[in-house]
Structures are given as structure tokens and as C-alpha cells.
Amino acid sequence: MPTNLLRRHLLAVGLAAPLWPLQAGAQAKTQARGRPVLQFPRDLGSHPEFSIEWWYLTGHLRSGSGKREFGFQLTFFRSRVPATQGMSSAFAAKQLIFAHAAVTDVAGKKLWHDQRIAREGFEVAQASEKDTAITLRDWSLQREATQYRASAAGSGFSFQLALRETQPLLLQGDQGLSRKGPDEKQASYYYSLPQLQATGTLAIEGREMTVQGTAWLDHEWSQALLHPQAVGWDWIGMNLLDGSALTAFRLRDQAGKALWEGGSFRHPAMGAAPQIFGRGEVLFQPVRSWTSPLTQASYPVEWTVRTPVDFYTVKAVIDNQELDSRISTGAVYWEGLSELFDSHGKLVGRGYLEMTGYASPLRL
């Protein structure tokens, strides 16, 4: 697959991560437009008629002894390959499946990461349309009733986790339709599953340990996501210690100006209904930056994030959490475990910060 085609047809990491089917008998839509009608478990699965889609799993783990902390990430991307005239062979790729996995060793101040890519089919890569069930060689994410299972093994690390749902799905945007720009076609279908209870095993350089913690799952798909002037985004998905869930994001242009903002906040007492943030209600202000020795890209690794709920400070647990995925999705981005502090300086949560478009403009 030519590199330019890979770059054009995927990079999807995080904003992370929806479900909405169409009404029975309705014609399939190929744009994320109009209020969605959700149907489960169908919309937990793949939507191959859309250009891009991803399932984005992140979390914070502690070893059984409680002495070591880790962040982990497992993301599966699906990219639809446009039909090419004369290419009707059964062997022609129709869908590409990509995957990224990473572990942040907080004490060791090291990020371990790996990536996979394959065309769908031939028992190598599969993404079910019926439910969450994605496999790419030996990596997988599967839903079993109210629990997910995630497995990945890369260079120097591996993990096998069970992730139990503790809260209802969080529908982002307008009942699952999340605007990402001033044009209504710049939107995605987007839902989250915060406050997942994670248990399992994690290994670093062959040393295996039991772990437990809290995770977050995003599922998002779209036909046209980015504004023409957008070069990337900044996004946080935070599990608060009191059981709340915070999402905040902005899409920005080359000058660093926000083209669009959004997010949500849900307290356990709110049930399934989140407070949705509109345009102009979220402000990202960089506090401290780190320069990658690999790419020379400069990333803000500490932010002040203003929301209608509170002014928060987001701090990366370690600076170097840059992922180089140029051999799969064609992009370099920063994605890592971070801590969340409220306006009084109190630690109130942990989760993931994702920043794209700093090494080079992001192109989906």
C-alpha cells in the first residue's frame, strides 16, 4: 500500500473514541450528520461504509503490590480503501486494520510501544459489524456482556486485561453526534465508556505482574472529520477519583488557534446524561513544553484547561510519551498518561492526554 494512501486514509487516535446505528429500514448514511439513533450492540461494532474508525482504550494501572504505576494504551483503527477502477479481485484490500499499543512505566520513566498493520480478512485482521470484536494477528479487543478483554504483546511489553463496565455509555456531543468543525460534515459518531475497572497482567521485559486500575474506552467513526485548515488536535479523557468523567478537546490551525472546541462532564449522580460543552466553553492554555529528541517537535506536556465545570491543570507523568507510527498510520503524535488537578491544586483524576499535528500536520 503506498505511503501516501496510508496517510490519506488514516490517522485516528483519540479524541477519543461512538456508537449509533440507523433507524430500522433507513438508508445507510455515509456522513456523520443528523441526530443519530443508537442501536446496541450493533453500533459497538465496525462501520465499514465510513472512511475512518477507531476503538481507543487507555488507562492507569498499579501493580499488585501497589509500588509501581503504569499507563497503557491499545488502539485499533479501521480505514476504508476506496474502490479502484479495474480492481475487482478478491485479493484487493477493501479495509485496512491498524493498531497501536503502548505502556508507560512511570518509575522507569520509559514508554514502550509497538504497532501493527494488515488488510482485513484471511483470518489475520477482523473487525466485526455486530459487536466490539477486533483482532489483528495476536492483538485483540473483545466485548463479552458487560466486560471487555484486551490483549497485546509488543517489543519489551505485553498485557492481558479484563475491563468491567461500571457506568452507562457516555454519548458525546448531541446524543452521540460530535461536531469537530464549523461545517456540519466535520463531525463524528462518538461515545465513551469511562471508569472501566481493569484487572489482569502486565509484563515489562519478561517480568510479569498482576495489575489493577481504571480505564477509558472511546469509539469514534467519521467520513469527514478535519477542517481544511486543521493541523491536529489536543484531547483529554480523564477518570476522576470521585467517579466523574471529563472529556475536553480542541482542533487547531497552524498558528495554534482553536478552530473548534468541545467536551463533556458527567458526575455519577447525573446518571447517563452528561453536561455537554459547546464551542467557546473550552480553553487549552499551554504551561510547559518538552522537545522530542527524535523529531524535534515541541509538545505542551502541562496545560491549563478551562471548562464550564472548573479550571483544571493537566500534567504528563513523564515527558517522553511520543509515538512514532510512520510505518502504520504515517503519523507521529504524543499520547500518554497524565494527572488532573483542580483549581485548588488538588489531584482529582488520571487519564490520557493526546496531541496530534505537532511533528507535522495531521491528514486523515
Q: Write out pLDDT tens, residues 32-68.
A: 655 567 788 999 999 999 999 999 999 999 998 888 9
Which range, 81-85, 270-274, 332-336, is most confident? 332-336
Bridge partners (DSSP) listed for residue 314: 303, 340
**Domain range 3-23+32-356, CATH class:** mainly beta
Instruction: Report DSSP letters for 215-281, one per residue.
Output: EEEEEEEESS-S-TT--EEEEEEEEETTS-EEEEEEEE-TTS-EEEEEEEEE-GGGTT-PEEE-TTS
How do residues 236-294 score in pLDDT, each as one tens digit? Answer: 999 999 999 999 999 999 999 999 999 999 999 888 789 999 999 999 999 999 999 99
Residues above pLDDT 90, as percent of the chain: 74
Whole-model pTM: value is 0.88
What band does 329 get if pLDDT is binned at 50, 70 and 90?
low
pLDDT of residue 327: 61
pLDDT of residue 5 exceeding 50, the answer is no
Instruction: Report DSSP letters for 178-216, one per residue.
Output: EE-SSSTTSEEEEEEEEEEEEEEEEEETTEEEEEEEEEE
pLDDT of residue 173: 95
What band does 18 get if pLDDT is binned at 50, 70 and 90?
very low
What band does 90 get if pLDDT is binned at 50, 70 and 90?
low
Average pLDDT over every residue of 64-79: 94
Number of residues in the chain: 364
pLDDT of residue 1 exceeding 60, the answer is no
Domain spans of the chain, in order of start: 3-23+32-356
Q: How far is CA 33 from the centre of its chain?
A: 21
Q: DSSP state, 5?
A: H
Higher pLDDT, 360 or 275: 275
How do residues 149-183 score in pLDDT, each as one tens digit? Answer: 999 999 999 999 999 999 999 999 999 999 999 88
Q: At which residue does the C-alpha cell 512514532 appear? A: 324
Q: DSSP state, 221?
A: E
pLDDT of residue 200: 98
178 touches 192 (CB < 8 A): no
Single-letter code of the amino acid located at 286: P
